[in-house]
Amino acid sequence: MKSSIHILRCRCSSSSGLRSTATRSHRYASTSSSSTSTSTSSSTTPSTPTPTTSPKRTRWLAITLVSIAAASAGAYIRTQTPSSATLNTETFTKYSLVSRVPISATSSLFTLRPRYPSSDNYDVYENAWRTGVWSVMFKQPQLQIGRDYTPLPTTAATSLSVDEENEGYLRFFIRKDPFGEVSRYLHTLEVGADIEMRGPQIECEIPKETREILFIAGGTGIAPALQAGYSLLNRTTTTNRPNIHIIWASRLRADCVGGVSDTPKVEASPSSRSWFSGWFGSSSSSKAHVESVALTSQGQESSLIVRELEALKSQYPGQITVDYYLDEENRFIGKNDLAEFIKPSKSVAGPQNRKLILVSGPEGFISYMAGPKVWAQGTELQGPLKGIIKELDPKGWAVWKL
């Protein structure tokens, strides 16, 4: 998931036309004044002086009137021109906020639909789902900045009606970042408010020959993991049964309440710690867990994201497994946990059994797992592989940072 904020720039019309008009007005006023002065001096009959308007005042009055007229015309045109009905990468499309359902104290599920429904949206979405992991940019109109968010796939847990699918509904798992201008703005909106978005932007294309994915997700990075699982497992046939294993690290129990890990935990090494301990102070070492642990409390309903994951597991039995790690309960992803799945091959995997490691989450999480992404000439690049994945020598695996 992208974490960068984009500054949106708009083109402003040139004021050269006004400057040239003012120049011509100034020249005409000077010529008229000179001519009048000559005529008056050559006349022998006295005349009563006629009051005249200052040329400078006349010039600025004309400029003001022209500016007001242009602004009014522009405002009228904007009110009469509807937003693009189909999601596209060139212009922003208006969506309406249908609902915002809290998942935890800091995150919510947003459901949106296009303000102007278009049947073309179905094809736009389907092409993106088939390709791999994708996102759209939300615009914060007051500050003119944008932020990328990942749509959630539709599963049996939260299936949309036929009408909702036809109208192009989209859902997003968004955390309210106290320092995030866009996420804070989104969490202040009331149901029915307009949200402008642009896309889809393909974040990672999953090759057709991919047979196995290890997805390491931190926080809301679980949204791209659901996308990857949805895209990969939809390719299942009688001769092709791809697999995906998701490792999800959450800070708060509420985000993943009800989740049950599929892999028995091995004893964590003494150095195991949270990825953000270096940023926010030290964390205590991880406790040993030798059995799968249910994160739910008695009588407490599983979180929506956990229900989404369970729905995928039911739909594709034996092809998807999930392990949960919780900072709040001192369970962190360590090198030993990844070593269970990242076992170097003797040779690079061929096209028939390609393996892919995807890492998604906050910048600090990605850096800890696989090294930071880098910026060069205004473009965000993958950067060299580092972190604990590098230490495991993942030969035969392709690694991609989202």
For 110, the token pair is 């947003």
State the Cα angle at 247 between 246 and 250, rounded to 5°: 125
331 is in an annotated binding site: no
Tell whether residue 191 is among the known ligand binding residues: no
CB 389 within 8 A of CB 340: no
The tokens of 287 are what? 């406790």
State the Cα angle at 344 between 343 and 346, rounded to 5°. Answer: 135
Instruction: Select from 83, 110, 349, 328 the least CA-distant residue to 214.
Output: 349
Kindly write down the DSSP assignment for every residue of 77-132, as one continuous string: HHHHSPPPSS--SSS-EEEEEEEEEESSSSEEEEEEEESS--THHHHHHHHHHHHE
Q: Where are the alpha helices (DSSP H) in 206-303?
A: 222-233, 277-280
- 292 belongs to an annotated ligand binding site: no
Both tokens of residue 52?
Answer: 């005249």
β-partners of residue 375 are 380
Q: Distance between CA 221 and CA 228 in Å, rounded? A: 11
| Rounded Cα gap, residues 293 and 264, in angstroms | 9
Residue 16 annotated as binding site: no
How far is it, in rounded angstroms, from Cα 165 to Cα 162?
5
**Residue numbering of the annotated binding site for FAD:** 147, 149, 182-183
**Residue numbering of the annotated binding site:** 147, 149, 182-183
